[in-house]
Amino acid sequence: MTQTQARRHRTAPTGAGAIVLVALLSSLLVASPSPSRGDTFDSHWQDGKAELNGYRYTVTRYGERREGTAILIYVTEPFSESQRVKVDDPKRNPKDTFEALKVNFVREFLTGIYDYHTLTSIFTRTRDFSPTKITFSSAEWCGHVFEEMDFEKYHIADRYLSYFEGESGMRRVTHREGSLTEEELLVRLRGLRGDWIRPGERKNVSILPSAFYRRLTHRPVAWSTARIERARGVEAVRVPAGTFQTTLITVAVDGRVGKFWIESAYPHRLVRWEWTASGASGGSKPSGARRGHPAEGLDQGELTGSTRLAYWTLNGPGGERYRRELGLAPASAPPQRVRN
């Protein structure tokens, strides 16, 4: 990676200088034509690194706003068509191997005395970003659950394993043409190979609410209709990572409204998002939030830092310092043993 590329992948500058620079460039961003994004995807995502994004995070749980952290990890990897797992040696069976874009979405937050740890993994084909597998796990002090959705030609095979009574089982969901899952929004809205939705465009699509939202609201797997709309203009958004020129995309589904501020420049990172109950103002405490209520499970995040790293090589002592590039505090050191 060149020094110019490295500077581009780090977070935006902050302070008065950044504001002036944004003002000078905003008109150019609006007027300039989009780059050749097909070529940009291949050159950007084949560097052997992952894109790591940290977020300041809040979510509604048990009727209250909870604070925490979130991390979004994007990386390409070889994937097995038959086994639906990462391939160690792509040359061994190339006919069964395709390139996938993996997205890992980590959410961590406290609810009183105990904490939640959830992970959503989305695997899409890089040629068209169609989903091949989505998994979700949630662990907290009461127990844990795991869900896996495998996408076949005409249906989605859904396996649910839960500590809680009456929840485990296998389900088969008929696949709808032109549909998507809520998890796919984390890929589709970024327009990594060109616009999925054009400026000013509005579309209605069949959508499966996310496993995270269904878990927190105890809702069954069922199709809904989402209205998705992209704003025409460009909007400057300030978050802990800096000030970014963004495009706003709004998603309305099942009494919820999601707003996604997508970075205008490639690679179109997710700068900020927020889900609110229909009619609620952003950031306000939901009224009447309770188990099964639409206001439960609403979350939002603001970018605190972003970088590209081969993070799987940084698991030794001292690797914690790279968390600062995501705006995350390094994990605390283990307590020292007291010797008598």
Which pLDDT score, from 0 to 100, does residue 295 have?
A: 81
Q: How far apart are CA 77 and CA 283, in angstroms?
A: 36
Tens-digit pLDDT string for the chain (340 aa): 444 444 444 444 444 444 333 333 333 333 333 344 444 898 899 999 999 999 999 999 999 999 999 999 999 999 999 999 999 999 999 999 999 999 999 999 999 999 999 999 999 999 999 999 999 999 999 999 999 999 998 999 999 999 999 999 999 999 898 899 999 999 999 999 999 999 999 999 999 999 999 999 999 999 999 999 999 999 999 999 999 999 999 999 999 999 999 999 999 999 999 999 986 544 434 333 444 444 899 999 999 999 999 999 999 999 999 999 999 988 654 555 555 4
What are the phi and psi torsion angles at 115 (to 5°)? -120, 160
Check: pTM over 0.85? Answer yes or no.
Answer: no
Domain extents for the chain? 25-309
Which pLDDT score, from 0 to 100, does residue 312 have?
A: 96
Which pLDDT score, from 0 to 100, does residue 267 have?
A: 96
Map tokens 């878990």 to a residue: 215
The one-character DSSP state at 197 is: S
Taking the CA atoms of the chain, what radius of gyration do you get in angstroms? 20
* Helices first, then strands: H and E counts in the chain: 5, 16
Question: Are β-strands 202-208 and 180-181 bridged in parallel, bridged antiparallel, or unpaired?
Answer: parallel
Which pLDDT score, from 0 to 100, does residue 280 have?
A: 52
Which pLDDT score, from 0 to 100, does residue 278 have?
A: 86
What are the phi and psi torsion angles at 302 (to 5°)? -130, 130
